[in-house]
Amino acid sequence: MKILNLGAGGFIGSHLTTRLLAEGHQVTGVDINGDKLDTLAAHHRFTYLGRDIRDAEGELAELIAASDLVVDLIAHANPSLYVSRPLDVFHLNFSENLKIAETCVRQGKRLIQFSSCEVYGKTVASIVPGLLANPDDPDLALFAEESTPFILGPVNRHRWIYSCAKQLLERVLHAYGLAGELIYTIIRPFNFIGPRIDYLPREGEGVPRVFSHFMGALLHGGPMRLVNGGRQRRCYTYIDDAVDCLLRIVDNPGGVCDRQIFNIGSPANEISIKGLALLMQELYVEQFGGDPFALPPLLEVSGEEFYGDGYDDSDRRIPDISKAEHLLNWRPRFDLRRTVADSMRYYVEQARQR
């Protein structure tokens, strides 16, 4: 297939491009930054175009016309940006992505649109714990594509602008699908991690995702900061598992993914953020020869201190993956320890090569 991969240079995009090429597809990758695609530059079925999609509307329409499938990964997908640049998050994640979707509508092209598990927001247990017999029941955090309502914070907690932008985009695609004008599949990733997820910050420099902060602290020193005590929970999903599922969606046997939304995640890999910090410390000593007496301290900070005003959080989210299991016969294989250890290995090796 001729696949146009928009956002091919990001963490998910670069892993997906590698595997699409290995499967024999022809891929055109568009991204503002192609550093993560360096190793693919010479591949005979790969073309990289360094473009900002905001400045390339006409060219994008031609690229879409020339492809069999469009994969749209373009997004600002980092919580610190939702807080520091909410308008940019809205414009890119909604307005620009909508233009891509509507070009697919006009040209009758199939679209795989990346959304987010952030659309689900928070759990009922986080807002009315006193009304529930067992607020810690995992079923209250088990999010299903077709039945779970979305619970977001108020407008002045502008973290949720990302969630809302993604939600509205999903609803517009759904409406185009209802009108018979678009064949789409929506993906909701649940905390994918792996090699190349983010840059590692040095102390006080930039705000990538939590895994990279903790990795940076282990390798370069500085505390592991636990926002609001690190009680929030996430299900970490190894990128290879995620890409396995994505390839099945690209193949789309018998059109089984048409007009479907898929959660992709590892429900068994749930851990609190504090638990993740401790697990990474343990693995660093056990598997990578870290000095047990020189581990970074854990430091509790508030959300406002860490991210600024407007921060809010998703307390817990567990993917219900029964749809992907049933329709695609897909199941994640990497358990939590392996997911985290294999992700860490890449950064430890990089640091030792320097």
Return the amino acid letter for 91. Answer: H
Question: Between residues 14 and 191, which has the closer beta carbon with respect to ligand UDP?
Answer: 191
State the minimum distance, in angstroms, from the CB of residue 296 to ligand UDP: 11
Concatenated DSSP letters for 276-340?
A: HHHHHHHHHHHHH---GGGPPPEEEE-HHHHH-TT-------EE--HHHHHHH-------HHHHH
- Residues with Cβ within 8 Å of 289's Cβ and at least 6 positions away in sequence, in order, are none
The amino acid that residue 294 corresponds to is: A
**Phi and psi dihedrals of 286, rounded to 5?**
-70, -45
Nearer to ligand UDP, 31 or 118 (CB): 118
Distance in Å, CB of 34 to ligand UDP, minimum: 24
For ligand UDP, the closer CB: 13 or 189: 189
Q: Which of 48, 120, 162, 284 is catalytic?
A: 162
| CB 315, min distance to ligand UDP, A | 8
Shortest spacing between CB 314 and ligand UDP, in angstroms = 6
- With tokens 């401790």, the residue in question is 278
CB nearer to ligand UDP: pick between 222 and 332: 222
Q: Give me the half-sphere count of Cα atoms (radius 13 Å) on the Cβ side of residue 124.
A: 14
As measured in angstroms, the least distance from the Cβ of 130 to ligand UDP is 22
Compare residues 22 and 127 and give the one whose CB is closer to ligand UDP.
Answer: 127
Q: Which is nearer to ligand UDP, 67 or 232 (CB)?
A: 232
Please calculate the CA angle 168-173-175 and round it to the nearest 5 degrees: 95
| Pairing outcome for strands 142-143 and 318-319 | parallel
| Shortest distance (Å) from residue 300 CB to ligand UDP | 9
Cα 199 to the center of its chain, rounded Å: 15
Between 129 and 275, CB nearer to ligand UDP: 275
Q: Give backbone dihedrals phi and psi of 278, rounded to 5 degrees, phi first.
A: -70, -40
Calpha distance 233→190 (Å, rounded): 12
Shortest distance, CB of residue 103 to ligand UDP, whole angstroms?
28
Where does 179-291 have alpha helices with state H?
Answer: 210-220, 239-251, 273-288
Q: Which residues bind ligand UDP (CB under 6 A)?
A: 79, 191, 209-210, 213, 225-227, 230, 232, 234, 273, 313-314
- CA distance to 20, 64, 233, per residue, from 2 (Å): 10, 10, 39
Distance CA 176, CA 258 (A): 12
Beta carbons of 251 and 68 less than 8 angstroms apart? no
Per the annotation, the verdict on 311 as an active-site residue is no
Task: State the DSSP string of 82-149.
Answer: HHH-HHHHHIIIIIIHHHHHHHHHHHT-EEEEE--GGGGB--HHHH-GGG-S-TT-GGGGEE-TTTPP
Catalytic residue annotation: 162
